[in-house]
Amino acid sequence: MGYCFVDHGGEVEVELESSSEAGIFEEALGALAELVSTGEGGAAAAHEVELGSRDRALLLVDWLNELVFLAEVEQFVPEGVDSIELAGDTLHASVRGRRGRPRHLVKAATLNRLDLRQEGDGWHARVVLDV
Partner 1 sequence: MGGMRVSFSTFELVRLDETLWEIPAGLRPGMRVPARIFADAELLDAIVDDRSLEQLVNVATLPGVVEAALAMPDIHQGYGFPVGGVAATALPDGVVSPGGVGYDINCGVRLLVLPLAETELGKRREALVHELSRAIPAGAGRHGPLGLATEELDAVLTHGPRALVTRGLCREGDLDLTESGGCLPGADPGMISDHAHARGAGQLGTLGAGNHFVELQRVECVFDPVGAGAFGLQEGGLTVLIHSGSRGLGHQVCTDYVRKMDSVAERYGIVLRDRQLACAPASSPEGRAYLAAMAAAANFAFANRQAIAHAIRSAVARVLGREAAADTRQVYDVAHNVAKVESYGGREVLVHRKGATRAFPAGSSEIPAAYGRAGQPVFIPGSMGTASFVLAGEPGSMERSFGTTCHGAGRSMSRTQAKKRIGGAELRRQLEGRGIVVRCPSNRGLAEEAPFAYKDVDRVVDVVERAGLARRVARLVPIGVVKG
Q: Is 52 in the site for partner 1 (CB under 8 A)?
A: no
| Torsion angle defined by CA atoms of residues 77, 26, 44 and 69, in that order, rounded to the nearest 10 degrees | 40
- Is 51 an interacting residue with respect to partner 1 (CB under 8 A)? no
Q: 18, 37, 65, 98: which one contacts partner 1 (CB under 8 A)?
A: 65
Q: Which is nearer to partner 1, 23 or 51 (CB)?
A: 51
Q: Which of residues 9-38 bind partner 1 (CB under 8 A)?
A: 9-12, 38
For partner 1, which stretch binds (CB under 8 A), given 43-51, 70-78, 88-96, 116-124? 70-78
Q: Which of 43, 73, 87, 119 binds partner 1 (CB under 8 A)?
A: 73
Is residue 62 a contact point for partner 1 (CB under 8 A)?
Answer: yes
